[in-house]
Structure 1
């Protein structure tokens, strides 16, 4: 009875909109109804999907999603390395763990704003560090102090070639913290008997990590990879906060491009935005299906 209440909400706010998106993807609709509440869309069949095949912005968004997917996976080994470093019994280790975990509890919007300010070439951290190496204080002809740089500081978010990498770096900051927590939890469950047996057999360093510790961290690794992949595919907050898809649409991903086409620009291309949503849903469905299959296999073996 208690579960049924949650299932009703899940059906109304998740399942039903999924099917609505599928149906809207075959229409041309501005998202509005007439004064009588009658739907004003037009059935266009596969026209929105054919348009996707000729849309360079769609391919840019798809490529950026692949970049997110590949580079986001760096969070897994980096999180493991930090977890191994923090898995010690030394004075003040809890403070260090809290500091490393801190980025994960910050809102994605706040993280985006922090990195936007840091990337600013005029007053941001990047500009300040750049000034240490390429700028010097001088005086102008009027005798007033001024700063002269041999090379101008980079405008990371204003450069179409590197803006996406800058946003991914910002997203990695909290994602690494999350993977670190998963591995710290896994390390608490590592069998000390197996570690002791490995030491008696002469295993230490890399051999101990590879043959004794990592096999016991397989569940944590699997979960870290799953949440990292899903986070990369559904990336939205960072782009909306830092660049809004710019410059020139170079940082768009499928989730943000879908939003931008449907309501972001005010153009009301709900049908086209729904087609983009269906493509993203299909991509995630393949991975989530594999994830569920792996979970079912593990549970069956456990029985």
Structure 2
């Protein structure tokens, strides 16, 4: 998916006069989606090679114009690409307009990525010899893809491949329901989510209580698989909780404005996974 990111907006986009006197600070186009962000982050922390599996618009062995831009960028960043071409749907695109680090408007068309083949037959070759398979929660929204990916993750576990899951979007619980979301996330050895998403997953959410990192740590041990490690972004100030089976750690990472903020949590997630695997080895 290709993202157009607009930052530094001069007015409140959530006001009735949102389109009056808009002064944007910057407009950038970059490869996007949780899978792309994590793949690029994984490469920077030493997971080499890193393969990204997806689907873009195109026909007769050639991508459409947006797909070509996406492919060129991914390949130049060092990623190995397994991209199918879809003759009926264009390459997915999203427009993200940031009011500030807390608020944004997203308009997205998944396009060809919504038709992605996630069958075990396609993904099996990439699991051979892999350390980690990363899955975005967006893949779990369509029922067919959800069934496919849960089967793939089960097979990955049987091959001793670690599973990393980004529990996104923030309203995934509303979209597919608490039971299906829990079933999906319990496939993971490493989990990443926002605090609000974590609270929504629980049966008796208490937002005030869950501001305490120790409480969040203990609750995560009850909700997620006992042996999983969980990264929870506690707030927009880039405070993170890394919760493991027996310990937890709270740390703050300097926030970066602009397009880098989109990759921010994925960079932290990749670093935590790399550190955990190095410690296990």
TM-score normalised over the length of structure 1: 0.22
TM-score normalised over the length of structure 2: 0.24
Report 1 or 2 for greater relative contact order, CA contacts < 8 Å, sequence distance ≥ 6.
1
Name the structure with the higher helix share. Answer: 1
Q: Which has the larger radius of gyration?
A: 1
